[in-house]
């Protein structure tokens, strides 16, 4: 640490830190409680100041177990009414005329028990407060001139006010205490954690550098009213000093990511649409030219809702046109799939398997000539949960409708989207979907794994999809999982981690990257 660094450190000390530092001296440690008292600050404040000073390397905090003493109930009683020998002597001295009294009388007027009387008598005699003699076979007490001043009684009274630590007893007091401890049921001895402070070497150098006049801790209204020029010096604040960790409530990072994705699409000029999670298979499959015997529609892949049928999910002429497209291609120029399309199959209800159900329904409802829309939401697939697949996950989906839109536009939009998420190496690979032609898969290069990762499917909706809905312009469409993107961002290797909700881990996720 250089001198100027140390000077800065000293200048930025808080009033509490300065006060505490000033009562410490090099080479010896001091109990925190004593230091607080000497510095004239509350124990709580001293504790905080000690924490700051130790994080700055100026003080070491030594924690140790310390014995401390307080009183048992009997002890409190004795502190109040006096130890038996004291009571005996006081009783005798209270009465000026009567210089002598029989032991029997005094003990019955004080209510002392026989065994107490003998001990008390012995003590009072040894202290020189009383003398004994016998007359007519009876034991008598005579008072002396010695003042009744009992160290044990004094210590008891002190302990009745507050517990005392062993280390803060004087030598004489600790001798008295061991006497008191010999008497049953008076003193309680316990251990507690005590902190002592010790100056570090740097701390003792700092101590010498504490300026006489410290800068002000805060700006007050009065200061601001002063004519400029006489504005007091302010204490510099060390913005690098450590601060306590806080864990306020925050959004789950999956939700935060969903919002970030929304933000990006909106910034690219897209509008968000929403659609139900429960869909007739008509929108989830049929409208997308997925034949009714397609393997993806099987129960092993899709969650069906038992004994529920969809009604009035589309205008009769749309249903009719889609039936024809499936059977022989309708008037789309396609040959269709060549099977008998059944409305009963289209009425079945599923948990949507992709968000494409939402965008295709949007096309049917609006028949737009131009559109840029997106949707984000949960989808469901009857799959085994593994490190890379979940049963319930998020998809991001989008479409662009326009007279002149091309595959190139779509690649451009997705490249832009990924780059806004910090993924810059993107490529597109041909693939197949029943509802798009041509069809692609977008892949991004993920440096940490040195691997290309598939992110979303895309293509131009086939005429078999768009024409029956009354849409004649080309429609660019894409959709893909969201959790994979989150995994890339946080370097998570197992998708299940995202929903384990381990509190320690959730707390450690930064709000900002």
Residues that bind ligand PHE (CB under 6 A): 354, 356, 433, 436, 457-459, 477-479
> How many angstroms separate the CA atoms of 406 and 474, rounded?
8
Nearer to ligand PHE, 69 or 478 (CB): 478
Name the DSSP letter for residue 297.
G
Are the beta carbons of 45 and 26 closer than 8 angstroms?
A: no
Nearer to ligand PHE, 56 or 354 (CB): 354
Return the closest-CA partner of residue 478 out of 375, 381, 383, 389. Answer: 375
In the complex, minimum distance from the CB of residue 259 to ligand PHE, in angstroms, rounded to a whole number:
22
Nearer to ligand PHE, 51 or 291 (CB): 291
> How many angstroms separate the CA atoms of 294 and 498, rounded?
32
Q: Encoding tokens for residue 261?
A: 């994705």
In the complex, minimum distance from the CB of residue 397 to ligand PHE, in angstroms, rounded to a whole number:
6
Cβ-based burial of 371 (10 A; exposed 0-12, middle 13-18, buried ≥19): buried
How many degrees, rounded to 5, is the angle at CA 151 between CA 145 and CA 152? 120
Q: Encoding tokens for residue 374?
A: 């997106």
Q: What is the largest CA-CA distance in the chain?
A: 143
Report helix, strand or coil for 5: helix
Name the DSSP letter for residue 97.
S
Are the beta carbons of 347 and 309 closer than 8 angstroms?
A: yes
Nearer to ligand PHE, 117 or 290 (CB): 290
Chain position whose Cβ is nearest to ligand PHE: 457
Nearer to ligand PHE, 330 or 481 (CB): 481
Report helix, strand or coil for 430: strand
The DSSP code sequence of 437-506 is EEEEEEEEEEGGGTEEEEEEEEEEE-HHHHGGGT--S-EEEEEEESHHHHHHHHT-S-GGGGGT--HHHH
Nearer to ligand PHE, 429 or 505 (CB): 429
Nearer to ligand PHE, 282 or 478 (CB): 478
Nearer to ligand PHE, 330 or 479 (CB): 479
Return the closest-CA partner of residue 455 out of 438, 443, 440. Answer: 443
Nearer to ligand PHE, 375 or 436 (CB): 436
In the complex, minimum distance from the CB of residue 420 to ligand PHE, in angstroms, rounded to a whole number:
20
> How many angstroms separate the CA atoms of 381 and 508, rounded?
31
């Amino acid at each position: 640490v250089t001198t100027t660094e140390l000077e800065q450190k000293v200048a930025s000390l808080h009033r509490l830190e300065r006060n505490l530092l000033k009562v410490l001296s090099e080479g010896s440690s001091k109990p925190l409680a004593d230091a607080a008292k000497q510095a004239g600050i509350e124990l709580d404040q001293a504790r905080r100041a000690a924490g700051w000073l130790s994080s700055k390397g100026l003080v070491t905090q030594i924690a140790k177990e310390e014995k401390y003493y307080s009183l048992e109930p009997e002890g409190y009683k004795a502190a109040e009414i006096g130890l038996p020998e004291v009571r005996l002597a006081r009783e005798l001295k209270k009465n000026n005329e009567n210089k002598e009294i029989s032991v029997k009388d005094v003990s019955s007027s004080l209510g002392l028990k026989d065994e107490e009387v003998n001990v008390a008598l012995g003590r009072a005699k040894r202290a020189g407060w009383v003398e004994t003699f016998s007359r007519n076979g009876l034991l008598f007490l005579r008072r002396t001139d010695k003042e009744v001043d009992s160290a044990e009684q004094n210590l008891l009274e002190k302990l009745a006010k507050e517990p005392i630590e062993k280390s803060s007893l004087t030598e004489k007091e600790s001798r008295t205490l061991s006497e008191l401890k010999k008497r049953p049921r008076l003193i309680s001895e316990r251990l507690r954690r005590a902190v002592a402070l010790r100056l570090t070497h740097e701390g003792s150098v700092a101590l010498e550098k504490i300026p006489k006049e410290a800068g002000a801790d805060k700006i007050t209204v009065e200061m601001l009213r002063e004519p400029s020029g006489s504005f007091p010096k302010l204490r510099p604040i060390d913005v690098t000093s450590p601060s306590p960790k806080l864990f306020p409530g925050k959004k789950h990072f999956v939700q935060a990511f969903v919002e970030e994705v929304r933000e990006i699409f909106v910034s690219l000029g897209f509008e968000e649409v929403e659609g139900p999670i429960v869909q007739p298979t008509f929108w989830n499959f049929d409208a997308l030219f997925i034949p009714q015997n397609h393997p993806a529609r099987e129960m092993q892949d899709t969650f069906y809702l038992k004994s529920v049928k969809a009604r009035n999910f589309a205008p009769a002429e749309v249903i009719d046109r889609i039936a024809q497209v499936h059977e022989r291609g309708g008037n789309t120029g396609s040959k269709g799939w060549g099977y008998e399309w059944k409305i009963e199959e289209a009425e079945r209800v599923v948990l949507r398997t992709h968000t494409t159900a939402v965008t295709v329904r949007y096309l049917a409802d609006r028949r737009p000539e131009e559109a840029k829309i997106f949707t984000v939401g949960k989808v469901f697939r009857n799959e085994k949960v593994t490190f890379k697949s979940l049963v319930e996950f998020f998809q991001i989906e989008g479409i662009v409708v326009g007279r002149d839109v091309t595959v190139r536009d779509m690649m451009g939009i997705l490249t832009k989207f990924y780059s806004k998420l910090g993924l810059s190496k993107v490529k597109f690979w041909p693939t197949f979907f029943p509802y798009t032609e041509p069809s692609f898969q977008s892949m991004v290069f993920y440096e940490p794994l040195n691997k290309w990762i598939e992110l979303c499917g895309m293509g131009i909706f086939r005429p078999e999809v768009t024409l029956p809905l009354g849409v004649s312009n080309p429609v660019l469409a894409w959709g893909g999982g969201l959790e994979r993107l989150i995994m890339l961002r946080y370097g998570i290797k197992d998708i299940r981690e995202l929903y384990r909700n381990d509190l320690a881990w959730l707390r450690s996720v930064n709000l900002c990257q």
